[in-house]
Amino acid sequence: MSAAYDQYDYQSYWEGREYEHECEVVVLRTLLEKIPKIKKIIDIGCGYGRLTPYYLHRAKKIVLTDPSSKNLKVAKYNLEKVNNEKDKIVYRQSTLENLPKRIKTKQFDLALLIRVMHHLEDPEESLKIINRLLSEKGFLIIEFANKLHWKAMFKNLMCGNLTFPLEIFPTDIRSDKNVKKHTLPFKNYHPDLIKELLKTAKFEIVEMRSVSNVRSPIIKKYLPLEALMPIEKFFQKSLSFLQFGPSVFILAQKKGEIEN
């Protein structure tokens, strides 16, 4: 079955985005350290396996899923080149909605949902599905595009939209033209809405991180990556309560079962 990303070179998208990539590596490593024991990981919407090498060592079995067969083929090619543990990785082409039909539920200690939330049609139901995939007290690392990042806050407040921080509904940033073409959703979320959706899906938040805090073409032009990353590492935790960055990561733990 064809998927939207079959027609898109997602690997090329990350060329020139070394800062954003390293920011996500930093936060992923930080959050992984807070999970004591992991046997099985499922990466939902794994893309071309960009982040897999950074958690590969933590589990005995890893399931990489993506709707795009192209992404999975690239992931398999890339990962088999750089590691000797290819036997622990299983590849499954599937949408998130169909995962319970393709994979046994209640078996994973950790689910990853990174760079996926903004494309989901029904985020509430998606989180409930992830709950069913996780074992008792399993963990979820979720990333979402932050509606309240500092640039958006500044722009809206300067335009006199003083209620912007209270507007909890997601913003779809596709143009009207693209919406008419029925492209994938691309939604920025209010952090309070994500918190509520996690609670509804019976997850408890363990920790939040503000990510890509100094993402700016001008700053990236004049400051090398070696100078940017210490700044990023320092601010990921300290700015999390402000939801400062354009990307927010949350570590959550399953606290109950979702009925089918």
Return the CATH number at 101.
Answer: 3.40.50.150
Q: Which pLDDT band, with edges at 50, 70 and 90, does 218 fall under?
A: confident
At residue 1, the pLDDT reads 44
At residue 180, the pLDDT reads 46
**Mean pLDDT, the chain, whole residue set:** 92
Is the pLDDT confidence value at 7 over 80? Answer: yes
How many Å apart are CA 41 and CA 152, to the nearest integer?
34
Q: Of all residues in the chain, what percent carry a pLDDT higher than 70?
A: 95
Q: In this structure, what are the phi and psi dihedrals at residue 113, rounded to the nearest 5 degrees?
A: -135, 85
- Please indicate, yes or no, if residue 180 is contained in any of the structural domains: no
Q: What SS3 class is residue 27?
A: helix
Domain housing 233: 4-146+189-254
- Please indicate, yes or no, if residue 56 is contained in any of the structural domains: yes
Q: Which residues contact 253 (CB under 8 A, 6 or more apart)?
A: 137, 138, 139, 140, 203, 204, 206
Judge contact between 150 and 214, C-beta under 8 A: no
- Averaged over 241-245, what is the pLDDT? 90
- Please indicate, yes or no, if residue 156 is contained in any of the structural domains: no
The DSSP secondary-structure symbol of 46 reads -
Is the pLDDT confidence value at 2 over 60? Answer: no
Of 227, 209, 65, 56, which is closest to residue 143 (Cα–Cα)? Answer: 209
pTM for this model (two decimals): 0.93
- Please indicate, yes or no, if residue 30 is contained in any of the structural domains: yes
